[in-house]
Structure 1
Amino acid sequence: MSSFAATNTDDTPSSSSGQSGSPKKTPSSKLDEAVVLFEEECNYVDALKLLDEVNTQISTLSLFSSNESFSDIQTPYLKFLLLPFYKMLCLMGCRTDGAAARLSNVKNAQSMGVAFLTTMESLGGGVIGEDNVTIFHKLLGEMGGGEEDGSVRPRARGSSRDEKVARFRAQQKCSEEIKIITGKLQRRGRMDLPPEEMFEGGDKESLIRSLTTQQLKKSATQCIDELIAMNQELEMLEMSAKFQSNMSAKSPQELEDERMKQRDGANKGGGIKMTKVSVDPTSNQLLFHRQEAREGVFRPGWNLPTMTLQELGEIEYRDAMERAERDKEAEIRNKDKPTRYEYLVRDGLEDDIHKVDASAKVDRDWDDFKDENPRGSGNKMADVGDRNF
């Protein structure tokens, strides 16, 4: 669960309306509910609906102004800066049918990620970090060249190993700080301290502000990774969507004609033309024969499979069932077979008179065998003696 939901810091006004006496959900409680939906239940669709409602409410309440900095924003309102980041995660997690729908979702998610990082950079406060700012501006440059609808046209960019490691360590550091601050807030709650009372280096508001700041730093670093992954995915999605669009524009007859044409081309023009040279046995003249090697040209040098994995699995299953049946029959046959007394004791059958009587002969035979074959008697130059103990 998100640290915000765990701290339960709901100081934001409510703009929702309802019947008299019915509880009203504040933007803060809706945001916490949305975080639970997509983080714990993977319910991205409902989470997106709640996030849109929260966005509408905070826009109506005008919680933020364009000329304020990070330090000017009130502590309870800081969590709403994560709205575009959460929407980006939900859009990336939503299932879609076909490449075109997925392409639309990824583009919208990319816009949300860019909006989140742009806001973090404009507010200052060192939340996004200098290294992330540099990478973010490189990504923006690669995303340039918009279409008529204003959407970005990314070109896939990789990330060096050092950059990936640095971002991973930054996220780990933020996670550790979040755990520490959350623990302090939980201890304050157990001790029922007043919000203004200083404890472990700060009052409740300062701890909540530090907690939110760490969450924003971690989200900004994670957002960089997501944008890089989106660039690479978008390039493949655009090619796939274009191919599907071209295929859908053709009639079934055209598709069938193309398939038949490809098949005929593979059968007719796929062979390699070669010249076979031989010698006429009567005149010793060289004979040249042109032919095509259609089969066996690209035949692998190893033995090909003779059955499918499903057939192999069925054979293995039958063998396993036969072995189990044989083991069961052998167990039934040996159940009443006489055995040594020590084995009866081991199996808890020493009270069975018939089995004990039958075991007496087995024990005598075993003692006679040991007397006739002392330990080591079968080894050359062995120390032969009475070792049956």
Structure 2
Amino acid sequence: MGEWKVEEMSLPALFEQARRIHLVASESGVDQETLRKGCEALQQCEEMISKLGLFSANETKDDISTSNLKYLTVPFYLAELTEKIAQDDRIQIIKISLAKLKEFISFCEAMELVPEEELETYTQGGPNSFADQRAKKIARFKRQRAAESKLLEIKERKERRGRSTKASALSTPVEAGEEDELDDDGEEEREAWVTTISLCLCKAFDLLEMLKKEEEMLLAIKEKQLQEGGKELSQVILDERTMRAEAWHRDSAARVHYTKPAQPITCATFAQDVLEGRAKVSQPHEHKHQPMIFGPKSLVGGSLTGERERMAAQVFQPGYRLPTMSIEEAGLREMEMMNKWQERNAKLLEEANSSWHKDNQKLRPAEEDEDEDDDAAQEKARAWDDWKDDNPRGAGNKKLTPCG
């Protein structure tokens, strides 16, 4: 497979490398070192997907973009590669693989990708009678064959279109803008990945049943060997409970990436750089939005030192007001304002419900209010009497009398 470093690869390149290893391991078989490299690459993919916040628990398959739809299969590929690793403690390998399969099925269930009949069987713990089991396996086998046929049809369709495109390109030159129309196969790619996820689900349910049976057999053999060896059974039970508790915590930590989304990267530009391999997730970044500058390329690209250059650059400006911050910064600022507003309201409510406020209300009796009203009425009556003394009745009508 060649030498390659997981830390220096982008998410798409890492996924394609791990998917190639999975394909080779499924068809022919690879050595253990390659299997471990594939598992390491898929684990790195999971970490990058979690840090980039590509998926959310409140999304469906229609909300996920076509370029990110393929990353839903990462837990399934990791489960299949992990199951093929040779190790002395086979039960531990089976437990890790089962955890990844359950994680994949649970997330596909949240994305509304699991068929109804499979979902009922999975939630109820499996069909009861042998007839129901046989019917479920036949229906699953038909879905698997249909998905494989559809993927083969899409592949042949793309190959035929590629051959016709090459033939037409040799006969007639392609004009500018026609290449995008020829390569516009986004719907076909989305259909292919949805079909691939459906095929992975069929294989995941089969592998889940097989690993459960294998785990039961290995546990029974281990228990029989321990009993024949004369070891203390109580210590074995305690060890088994400890292993189950550790496995439960490990599975919960793995599922938390999907049930509760990780803290996403707030800078869309940096997230795009990480996806395309120009930056690393662990690299520190500042999501600062630089305002766009319009004008001649010689002025925009260089440094505007003189007043004449600044005035020339301001000539070619848009007729609308440019943004001063990015959408992420505006959201963070609005969230900060809302947190301060909630804290202030909580503080005011706490002061209103405190004993100090209630005691102050009790210290003001009703007689004090009545005395204030009486004082105001007396002041008003005195002012009215003073005005009447200064302005006797009829003092302003002297000009209307005959002798006035």
TM-score by length of 2: 0.47
Greater relative CO, 1 or 2 (CA 8 Å, sep 6+): 2
Please identify which structure carries the higher helix content: 2
Please identify which structure carries the higher strand content: 1
TM-score by length of 1: 0.48
